[in-house]
């Protein structure tokens, strides 16, 4: 007989392994039945655009989760990056510029500044967790509050005080909303290309470098990894620093995509990133996860958000659906872990 014998247990294992995808397919079918026009290239492009920055956030969060940690400061770092980059990239003609006398800067410079600042806060997270032995949940919770305070102080500054940062430079907004190729559904948004590049680099880091092997080893068993010669402290510092850089890049692009920023920008994004990673197969217990799985997790939530809005479902019901999917994903993850034990 060719292949494995099909048994009741094998069917059960397969069902547990891919149950979340069955739920996703069922939701898409329900949405499509209610509104057949949902399945179109135009909607697919919109979903990709909406997913692009979330994929960048999730790449940073995914590495943290694989080590067995968590980063609750991610959303506030996204907000900090959005405010920083937007404040330096307001149009010279805009009458309410935060820096009225600031010359026109190269497009890439404010984005790099945002990435460096968020990377610095990620570095602090890594040091507090690895050197001071503060649990990741507590360390990043404190960082979340501190980053929000720092962003609010920066945001609420003269001459205009706590006003939404608008009037962004056309070069910046084009980066968030522009595209390559033919006008219309056959074009590829710039931010999708950037997200694809970040995804590819992350895949290389996870699968082809010592860094990648170390984060999986730490997530699997930190003590065993330490005995095997892995510098656990240094690796954790690198993980949280790179995560911060990802939040900085994603936050800048999100400001470019939406055309503005406030100090409350990014609130709750860390929960979306964690949920997407878990739905995509990243274990909340550490040591398990793949880059394609993270991308799929983000796309699942983007399709749910876009699709349920497309059929005019109440935002309150959307929250219930998303919450149920998160619970199902975590329950299946724990069941798979217990089965392996």
Instruction: Enumerate domains of the chain plus CATH numbers.
Output: 8-340 (1.10.3470)
User: Using one digit for the tens of pLDDT, what is the confidence trace for 183-205?
Assistant: 666 788 999 999 999 999 999 99
The pLDDT of residue 1 = 41
As a whole number of Å, the CA-based R_g of the chain is 21
Cα distance between residue 239 and residue 65, in whole Å: 10
The average pLDDT across 296-319 equals 88
Angle between helices 108-130 and 232-258 (to 10 degrees): 150
22-36, 139-153, 200-214 — which is least confidently predicted?
22-36
What sections of the chain are H helices per DSSP? Answer: 8-34, 41-66, 74-88, 108-130, 136-155, 170-177, 190-208, 210-220, 222-227, 232-258, 269-279, 291-310, 315-340
For 275, how many CA atoms within 13 A lie in the half-sphere containing its CB? Answer: 20
Does residue 341 surpass a pLDDT of 60?
no
What is the per-residue pLDDT across 210-248, written as a single tens digit (0 to 9) for each? 999 999 999 999 999 999 999 999 999 999 999 999 999
The residue among 320 and 160 whose pLDDT is bigger is 320
- Listed residue (253, 257, 333, 249) closest to 59, CA to CA: 249
Helix residue ranges, H only, 35-188:
41-66, 74-88, 108-130, 136-155, 170-177
CA proximity to 67, closest of 316, 266, 279, 277: 277
Dihedral angle of Cα 86, 89, 94, 97, to the nearest 10 degrees: 60
Q: What is the pTM of this model?
A: 0.90
DSSP class of 188? E
Proportion of the chain above pLDDT 70, given as a percent: 91
Encode pLDDT of 42-78 as tens digits: 888 889 999 999 999 999 999 999 999 999 999 999 9
Contacts of 215 (CB under 8 A, 6+ apart): 63, 66, 67, 206, 235, 239
Q: Which residue has the higher pLDDT, 93 or 181?
A: 93
Q: What angle do CA 28, 179, 279 make, to 5 degrees?
A: 35
Q: Residue 340 pLDDT more than 60?
A: no
In this prediction, residue 15 carries a pLDDT of: 66
């Amino acid at each position: 007989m060719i292949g494995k014998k099909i048994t009741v247990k094998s069917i059960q294992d397969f069902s547990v392994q891919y149950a979340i995808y069955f739920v996703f397919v069922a939701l898409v079918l329900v949405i499509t039945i209610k509104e057949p026009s949902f399945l179109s290239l135009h909607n697919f492009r919109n979903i990709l655009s909406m997913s692009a920055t979330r994929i960048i956030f999730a790449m940073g969060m995914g590495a943290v989760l694989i080590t067995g940690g968590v980063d609750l400061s991610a959303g506030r770092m996204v907000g900090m990056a959005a405010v920083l980059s937007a404040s330096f990239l307001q149009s010279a003609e805009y009458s309410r510029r935060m820096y009225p006398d600031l010359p026109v800067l190269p497009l890439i410079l404010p984005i790099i500044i945002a990435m460096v600042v968020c990377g610095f806060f990620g570095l602090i997270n890594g040091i507090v967790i690895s050197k001071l032995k503060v649990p990741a949940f507590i360390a990043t919770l404190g960082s979340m509050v501190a980053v929000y305070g720092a962003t609010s102080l920066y945001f609420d500054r003269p001459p205009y005080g706590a006003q939404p940062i608008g009037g962004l430079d056309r070069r910046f907004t084009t980066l968030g909303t522009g595209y390559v190729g033919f006008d219309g559904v056959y074009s590829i948004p710039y931010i999708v290309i950037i997200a694809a590049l970040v995804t590819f680099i992350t895949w290389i880091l996870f699968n082809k470098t010592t860094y990648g092997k170390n984060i999986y080893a730490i997530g699997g068993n930190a003590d065993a990894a330490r005995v095997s010669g892995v510098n656990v402290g240094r690796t954790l510092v690198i993980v949280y620093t790179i995560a911060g850089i990802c939040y900085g890049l994603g936050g800048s692009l999100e400001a470019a995509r939406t055309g503005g920023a406030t100090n409350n920008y990014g609130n709750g994004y860390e929960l979306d990133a964690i949920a997407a990673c878990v739905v995509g197969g990243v274990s909340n217990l550490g040591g398990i996860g793949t880059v394609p799985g993270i991308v799929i997790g983000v796309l699942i939530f983007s399709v749910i958000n876009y699709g349920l809005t497309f059929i005019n479902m109440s935002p309150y019901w959307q929250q219930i659906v998303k919450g149920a999917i998160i619970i199902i994903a975590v329950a299946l993850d724990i069941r798979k872990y217990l089965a392996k034990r």
